[in-house]
Amino acid sequence: MYPWIDLYFIKIPSFGLMVASAFLVCNFLIKKEFKKNNLDIKIADDIIFYAILSAILGSKIYYIIESGDYLSFFSNLKNIFIKLISLNILGDGGAISELQLLGSGLVFNGGFICALIFIGLYVYRKKLNFLLLFDIVAPFILLGHAIGRIGCFLVGDDYGLPSNLPWAVSFPNGLPPTEIFTFTNSHYPFLGYTKEMLQPYLIEGSSNVISVHPTQLYEMTLYFLGFLLLRKFFFKTKETLGLTSALYLMYAGFSRFVVEIIRTNERYSVLELSSAQFVSIILFIVGLFMLLNIKKLKVIDGKN
């Protein structure tokens, strides 16, 4: 794992680098699509700007509400302010390190919901065609999410349940580390593992570190595949208005639901599903409803 990209004169957090890369790549490609559809490039800039701000805000709020970890969030903000004032930027425990900690716990579903609300308000105010814009942008949400999952893998976050499959991985310095204590007492006691149950998953030469499913790579693969499929078969947005959006919602919901089965997220007593799976079900149902009623969708600029 590579939580930092060390360039000798500066250390760049790998997760932040992947998130920034996702936005830059998608920004470039979305602008090209806007030009193809004779749309104002400024609209693309506005949408991406609001998407970045609202996604970060929404994903962090979602994480805090779900985990109840209010104290560490405000502690991070305070430490960042103190480190900036004292000019401790790049050193160990400096402002960049605190920003890396602040970035952990960004939940995609929260960011997606918040971004959808903000962009919806922008589209309504500008009286634009929401379905057309969503059709253009939807495949690139999959692409950006896939690139972001590479960052999760590099820092050792959002991994899966213990596994001894040939491609299983371990994160001795992950967020949190894949250790027996993590799964029994620290972060995931709700999974019900005991020390004895985790013994078969110990990596060679260790009495504490275990191997797990690389669910970040599973998601990355699914999202890259979804991006390629949508771009190859459903790119004529004006002829199939709303179709790409519907398929995106169904595909994204299904993909996350499946991967979540072997993720370490806590399940609720209702149906034994995680919060991400409930959101995935909603996305899939909305997408299916749109697909079944694709011919009835009325295009009302700024109000659909």
Which structure tokens are listed for 189? 């006691």
Place of tokens 């480190």: 83
Once rounded to an integer, what is the mean pLDDT over residues 111-122? 82
Between 9 and 156, whose confidence is greater?
Answer: 156
pTM score: 0.83
More confident residue, 168 or 91: 168
Gap between the Cα atoms of 106 and 278, Å rounded: 18
Closest CA to 54 of 139, 134, 121: 121
Residue among 259, 261, 273 nearest 226 (CA): 259
| pLDDT for 228 beyond 50 | yes
Above pLDDT 70, what percent of the chain? 77
pLDDT above 70 for 45: yes
Q: What is the pLDDT of residue 80?
A: 53
Rounded Cα gap, residues 112 and 193, in angstroms: 32
Q: Is the pLDDT of residue 286 over 80?
A: yes
Q: How many CB atoms lie within 10 A of CB 91?
A: 12
Query: d(Cα 192, Cα 190) in Å, to the nearest integer?
Result: 5
| CA–CA distance, 152 with 217 (Å, rounded to integer) | 9
Residue among 174, 196, 171, 161 at smallest CA distance from 267: 161
Q: Which two tokens stand for residue 293?
A: 């009623």
The pLDDT tens digits of the residues spanning 206-215 come to: 999 999 999 9
Q: What are phi and psi of 158, to 5 degrees?
A: 60, 40
Nearest to 47 by CA among 57, 34, 60: 34
Confidence of residue 226 (pLDDT cuts 50, 70, 90): very high
Residue with the two structure tokens 């110990």 = 202
Beta bridge partners, 210, equal 202
Q: Is the model's pLDDT at 193 over the cut of 70?
A: yes
Give 180-201 as a 3 state SS string. HHHHHHHCCHHHCCCHHHHHHH
Bridge partners, 11 (sequence order) = 6
129-179 pLDDT, tens per residue?
Answer: 888 889 999 999 999 999 989 989 998 988 999 999 999 999 998 888 999
Q: What is the pLDDT of residue 89?
A: 47
Q: How far apart are CA 124 and CA 44, in angstroms?
A: 15
pLDDT of 57 over the 80 cut:
no
The answer to whether residue 187 scores a pLDDT higher than 90 is no
